[in-house]
Structure formats: C-alpha cells, structure tokens
Structure 1
Amino acid sequence: MPAFGLMSWRMIGVVLLVAVLAGVAAALAWQVQDWRFGRQLAEQARLHAQALSQLSEATATQQRAEQARRQALEQRLSASEQTHYRVLSDAQRDQDRLRDRLATADVRLSVLLDASDLAANCAMPAATGAGGVDHGTARARLDPAHAQRIIGITDAGDRGLIALQACQAYVKALAR
C-alpha cells in the first residue's frame, strides 16, 4: 500500500500541477484579452476624440461664417441708416428754409384758380395794368399762416415717406 499511496500522491501532485497550469493559462488568457480589449477601447477613444474635434472645428467654422454674415448685415444696416438719416436731415433743412422764406415774405405760396369760376364770380379788368402783363393762369396767394400749415403737413408727409423707405431698406437687407 505504500506504493499506492505514493502513486496517489503523485497523481494528486500531477492533478494539482495541471490545475495550477490551467489557472495560469486562464489568467494569461484573461491578461491577453484585457490587453486586446484595452487596445480596442483606446482606439475607440481616439476615434471618438477625433470625431469630437472635427465636430467642434466644423461648429467653430459655422459660427465664424455666421458672425461674418451678421457683421456684414450690421454694416449694411448702418450704412442704410446713415443714408436715410442724411435724407431726413436734408428734407428737414429744406423744409426749414422754405418756412423761413415764407415767414420773411421772400416766397409766397399760391394756388391756381379755376378760370370759369373767375369769369362767373369775379370781375376782372379788361385791360392790363401798367405793372406787367401775365399771360399765365390766374393764381391767388395763400395767407402766410395757411402756407405754414401746408408746409408742416408736407413736412410730416416727407418724414413718413423717408421712414417708410428706411423700413423697406431694412426689410430688404434682412431678407438677403
């Protein structure tokens, strides 16, 4: 029986050795798998970082283009605003000059009279006066206060038209 005991110990030793070797082989297999998996994860992380970099670069390019478009629009609107302000100030200056000339009697506003109405209601001298001959249509001068009111109305109309043109230019600039 001692031979059988030695044999069984050897058998147990061989089984243990095979088990240890199998464990080492399994651990080694796990380690190799871990290295492969780690390499795959590193490759995926690199590709992901590259994709994010490209995406952020494309976004930055798009933002720069949008900012350039916005700046160009702002410059066009600023130029348009300056132009319309100049037109408005020129119209205002012309209106003020006309008002001043009306106030100083330098200029008089007049209206055309209906010739048929004149013949029916007004007696006109048949002969022309010594002051001059006017072959044009008959006219009547307006009272200076009424002329001032008319100039005020046309001034408001001019301002309205200039403001409308400015709004139209603004909308056209935005539509581009």
Structure 2
Amino acid sequence: MAGATETFYSVIRRQGITRRSFHKFCSLTAASLGLGPLDASSIASALETKPRVPVIWLHGLECTCCSESFIRSAHPLIKDALLSMISLDYDDTIMAAAGHQAEAILEETRAKYKGKYVLAVEGNPPLKEGGMFCIDGGKPFVEKLRSMAEESMAIIAWGTCASWGCVQAAKPNPTG
C-alpha cells in the first residue's frame, strides 16, 4: 500500500497533473466549501506540504458489500482512490499480505503513525462470550478494534454493518 510520507501534491504531479490544474482544483475546493480566494492558497499549501493521512481499514462481522461496492466503483476508480486520494496502509481484504505478515504490517503502521491514522471499520464487533464469534489475528475482533481505536485520530464506521449491525444483528442474534 502507499506510504504516508507522500503528499497529495507529489502524487498528482507524478501522475501528470499540471501545477495550473492543481491550483484550479484548490480554487474550486475553496469555493465549494464557501471559502474565499485566499483560502485556496492555504489549501494548496497544505496539499503540497502535509503528508497524506494513513488509513487502517479493519473488518469485523460483515456482509462485505461495502468493500465490494468500493472495489467496483467507477467514480472514483479504486486505483485513483488508493493511489492518489488516501494512503491505505492496511486492509486485510485487499492487501497481498496475509496471516502473520499482515499482522506485522498492522502493528508497524500503528506504531509508526500513533495518533495520526484514520481507522475505518467495516463490520461490527460481536460482544457475547468475550467476542469469540469473530477472531482476527488470534484474538477477538472487539479487542483488536479497541486497541486500534485508542491510538487513532479519527474513526469511521464504514457502512450499515458497522453502524447498525446489518444482517448479523438480526434476531435471534447469538453474537451480541
């Protein structure tokens, strides 16, 4: 996955976007947010100097339709979202690594970006029987979620499964 030391500007320049187009983007962004012309230069400065924010995407009990929809989206294309817009440093559903290697990447990302990563959560943590209905990396997903959430700067509940429980929360619900 992409490294979080790159800036948004360095990525789009590498892809052939001109400086003029970049400033047009910043002006349109400022205008769409109701900001003034001077704010466009502040947006440009931030995109040129600040590193892209790393994203850690975890999966609990879910139907996986959010990932499926994301992978098959056309606006934006997944390649554009992953290579230009965000720095997805961990997602066990779409990354090549698995098992111990994937867990090592997760811990490395967590340590390197402590307090500076966004945690995206697709799916929910089962709570009954100590969370034993969803084991991830050898431990209950609820433990992994709490641990990763403690050191994130923001958490996104991604989709219905994470927000409301979806099919997994239907009665009777033995997972809690």
**TM-score, normalised with respect to structure 1:** 0.22
Query: Relative contact order: is structure 1 or structure 2 higher (C-alpha 8 Å, sep ≥ 6)?
Result: 1
TM-score normalised to structure 2 length: 0.22
Question: Greater helix share, 1 or 2?
Answer: 1
